[in-house]
Amino acid sequence: MSPFTADFVLKEPPALCRLLECTRCGHRFFDVRYTLEEVGRLYAGYREEAYFACRNRHEPWYTEAFNRCVGWDERLLASRREGIAAFLGRAGLPGPFVSVLDYGGDSGQLIPPGIAREAFVFDLSGVTPVPGVTGIGREEDLAAGAYDLVLLSHVLEHAPDPGGLLAKIAPLLSPGSGLLYVEVPLERPWLGLLSRGRFGRAWLGTVRRSPVLLRTLDFYSTAFRVKTGILPPLGFAKVHEHVNAFSSSSLARVLEKAGLSILRLEETSGRKSATGPALLCLALPAAG
């Protein structure tokens, strides 16, 4: 467990867990899954004072300046909005739409301008929506069959039950024509250098009992993974905010199991995506 999420969400010391991978679709996931109460604890007041103070205490490299700009850097936001609009265009469905909902979209700042007559955002954090976007604070206030386009951008990797979440979102789409845009990070670091078996468990047991060693290896593992796409020797994978790591096959599978038909699925490189390598998908309810 990440020291930050163990403290902030679970209110206990970091425990050992397992990273599993499906041999059929390549989906990676941790065997520790947050409960709905724990999800609410993590995302209520997301990135506000209490969140930052706890995270910075465990991850000193997570600075106040970075916390302020995450999700709000204007150049990054513009690039992400353009990326969504461009993908819809490549799919032959650029809009405009009557009604768009950004599900889990913070303040709705990712909704491309001019894409819809009405724009809505639903988010657990309860933050104030940007001008031109109407906030929906409770899930029960989401209207069934009311949205021509639902954006689900960088949400599924956080979801303890991604299939269950998609099953709740699918009925929100306008009958016959509603579209679901899904974007998830493509996080597939090579795991071949990680210590495994009895030695690996003994090593991680030693690490978790030493806060200084744990913090040092957390930084080492994170920085090495970000720079090289490899989890390093003596490092570790950790449960943080992301509990799922999708492949193209696993994203397609979870969408199809939720009764959705895929219109277009793309894998982008870091050069083509403002947030790094990602999977972009457009789907609609399956016929019948």
Residues 136-154, mean pLDDT to the nearest whole number: 94
pLDDT tens digits for range 183-226 = 999 999 999 999 888 999 999 999 999 999 999 999 999 999 99
DSSP conformational letter for 266: E
pLDDT score, position 230: 96
Q: How confident is the model at residue 17 (pLDDT cuts 50, 70, 90)?
A: very high
Q: How confident is the model at residue 270 (pLDDT cuts 50, 70, 90)?
A: low
**Which segments of the chain does DSSP mark as H helices, in order?**
3-5, 36-43, 49-58, 64-69, 74-90, 162-169, 197-208, 211-228, 248-257
Q: Which amino acid makes up residue 158?
A: H
Contact 61, 14 (CB under 8 A): no
DSSP conformational letter for 247: -
Instruction: Please state the pTM of the whole predicted model.
Output: 0.92
Tell whether the model's pLDDT for residue 60 goes beyond 70: yes
pLDDT score, position 249: 97
pLDDT score, position 124: 79
CA atoms within a 13 Å half-sphere pointing along the CA-CB vector of 110: 26
What Å distances lie between residue 32 and 4, 46, 105, 251, 257, CA to CA? 15, 21, 25, 20, 22
Contact 20, 28 (CB under 8 A): yes
pLDDT tens digits for range 67-107 = 888 777 888 899 999 999 999 999 999 999 999 999 998 89
Tell whether the model's pLDDT for residue 259 goes beyond 70: yes
